[in-house]
Structure 1
Amino acid sequence: MKNKNVRPDANTNAASDADVTALARLLPAPGRAPLPHAQHLHHKEQLMQHIDRDRDRAHGPGRPAFSARRLLRPAVLVPVTALALAGILTTGIVIASDGDTRTATTAGRDAQPAVALLDQISDAAGKNAELTVRDDQFAYTRAKVQGADLTSGKAVVEPLKDSETWLAQEPGPLRKLGLAKEDGETFPLNAALGDTKGTPEGFGRATYHWLASLPTDPDKLLDHLYAKTPETEREERHQAVFNTIGSLLGGVTPPRTAAALYRAAAKIPGVTRAPAAQDAIGRHGIGIAREDTRFHTRTEWAFERHDLTFLGSRSYLVKDTTYGKKGTLMSANAILDQAIVDKAGQEPSAVRDS
């Protein structure tokens, strides 16, 4: 029996287009319930928010039903802050992002620019100041977000929106997870309907202290990510782990954890450099990318060129699929501010000016 806690071998052949098409016909069209947590963990986060809100409206006013799965950190993407990896890839056969098998020598040449960049990003992130965060405080993120609604079975790109979130740092499990504000409308973030025990700290509710508890050795961290990231037939395994890392970046992250996450990302097959990456509001930077050969999406993380701070992320189709044409945007975000505040709804400016 296959041990699911062991990293998949890079020799695993990518599914053929015919297999993907056949599988797509068997899968139900996305409805108004949240999509599986592992499906497109990074680029579906904002989509989940829209689906959750539609579902809430169906339940009627005064009955919030927001899923904890929408609380994935906005990234990175993400994300979603840094990394260092030196050395030569082990000799062997690897799978390129386009699904072709190549020798490690060729793959190493392609991967070296990404590894070097992640090395620099890691060093920069690791120099950030460690924060003192109390259990009664909230992690604040302000962003611009955009997603594609898949309810109809086709990707319908929605307008760019303003988004603010306040995520509780209490260890939990919690029923009241925080507060969100989107395009001027404020609403509570609660555990999923029927979840009587509440949502604990973890990948779906990444508190500062939980992030600090993750392994800071890149190999151990990557093993942990492969072990804990749920498996799904809808997403390539390596991409799922890449997106898990993306979901933990871009918010308030402990420096050592951020650096380790980027080092771990550099070890995932198919990760490449993206010289012309941009975020949801068109800010251009240098980036890291990976293509999912199963769902045919490319996810890019964009970083400021001069100081390598995270700008945001973007995910789009790289070939025609049942969801849309090549180039169709699946999601994008731009991180504008982040901080630790004392209460939900509090603006960071009030803390900085006090």
Structure 2
Amino acid sequence: MDELQLVRERTADVPLPDLAELQAARARLVAVTAKEPRSRKRLWLAGTATVGIAAAITAVVSFAPNGDGPLAPPRAAADPVRVLHDAAAEALKLPSTPPRPDQFVYVKTQYADSDREAWISADGKHDGYVRQDGQTLTLQACVDGKYRVQGANNPAANGTEEPCVVTPAYRADLPTTADAMFQYLDKHHSGEAGDVNAMGKDVQMLVGETYLSPRTKAALFDAAAKVPGLQAVDHVTDAAGRPGVGITWPGHGVTLVFDAKTFTYLGTTQGAVVGYGIVDRPGQLPR
């Protein structure tokens, strides 16, 4: 294999350390080797000569000083738990601007062959709608436990009322700590107890077409980091073609994608969140 190509593949998603970090790392490496006996140093140098340019350059790119201890890897895409914790830290930087009950959460999602725009009632008690493939679907409000049927295949059903459960886009009811959020997910997810696939789907749903406060979103990502069997996937792109690092769950067919440098949530490999905001009425776009 071309060694330069190997370097590119192994380091594409790893942020480069700055010059100060490299100088400090070199100084520490020299200090450590200076303490070794001469014969061992010669053996060490001979060994490093055989590892090849790819491994040598990868070591320079992938390691940075960590206090006074041994060299440690930076916050790299290869660690799914670290990625989710960094995503939680990034979420805490978001402005806290919760919508009013009469407002709508606007989300635009880009798929491989279409876009979806949704205007979802913040309190779940106002009609919103979804627009996709040239069609518009009304999202019926749920008021006093009932919604009014519209557009049914049976014309006689139109105007009648059916029981419903309010599903607000603004989830002010969710926990704001990782432990409490994990317990919530384990109890309320759509599958059986211990079903990490279903838990992954619920995480995807909550981080998708809802509004979460910064603390709640951070708790969601920190709780997701507790799910067993997480895997990170390097060199992925979301459905809009934006590069990032992916996180998957066992049996969960969807890969969540985070920016490899900022750890901002981008969407999934199947649907990318390309528009988001709070608006006053359906059809209005965020400023």
- The TM-score with structure 1 as length reference comes to 0.50
- Match status 1:183 vs 2:133: yes
Report % sequence identity. 30
1:187 shift after superposition: 2.8
Paired residues of 2:87 and 2:265 also in contact (CA < 8 A): no
Taking the aligned partners of 1:306 and 1:289, their CA distance within structure 2 comes to 18
Conserved? CA contact 1:274–1:288, under 8 Å: yes
Answer yes or no: is the 8 Å Cα contact 1:291–1:299 preserved in 2.
no
Identify, as 1 or 2, the structure richer in helix.
Answer: 2
Q: Quick one: distance in 1 between partners of 2:191 and 2:258?
A: 29
Q: Which has the higher contact order (CA 8 A, sep 6+)?
A: 1
2-structure distance, mates of 1:298, 1:272: 12
Higher-Rg structure is 2
**Residue in 2 that maps onto 1:13:** none
| CA pair 170-301 structure 1, distance change in 2 beyond 3 A | same
- Cα displacement string for residues 191-229 of structure 1 (whole angstroms, at most 9, x for unaligned residues): 6878723331xxxx3422xx2321112111111111112
Partners in 1 of 2:177 and 2:205 — Cα distance?
Answer: 19
User: Structure 1 residues 283 and 197, CA, compared in 2 at 3 Å: closer, same or farther?
Assistant: same
Alignment of 1:106-255 (within 5 A): 113-145=79-111, 160-172=113-125, 176=127, 178-190=128-140, 196-200=162-166, 205-208=167-170, 211-231=171-191, 237-251=195-209, 252-255=211-214
Distance apart, 1:135 and its partner CA: 0.6
- Where 2:199 maps in the other structure, the secondary structure is helix
Which ranges of structure 1 fall in alignment gaps of 5 or more residues?
1-110, 147-159, 315-331
2:277 alignment partner in structure 1 = 339
Query: How big is the shift at 1:128?
Result: 0.4
Q: Which of 226, 239, 242 in structure 2 is aligned with 1:280?
A: 239
Q: 1:311 to 1:239 in 2, by over 3 A?
A: same
SS at match of 2:208: coil
Task: Tell me if structure 2 keeps the 8 A contact 1:285–1:304.
Answer: yes
In 1, the alpha carbon distance for the partners of 2:116 and 2:124 equals 24
For residues 198 and 260 of structure 1, what CA distance do their matches in structure 2 show? 28
Amino acid corresponding to residue 86 of structure 2 in structure 1? Q
Moved >4 Å (runs of 4+): 191-195
Q: Is the 8 A contact 1:278 1:312 kept in 2?
A: no
Q: Which runs of 5+ in 2 are unaligned?
A: 1-76, 141-146, 153-159
TM-score using structure 2 length = 0.61
C-alpha distance in 2 between matches for 1:245 and 1:306: 22
Cα offset for 1:231?
2.8
Whole-Å separation in 2 of the counterparts to 1:232 and 1:226: 9
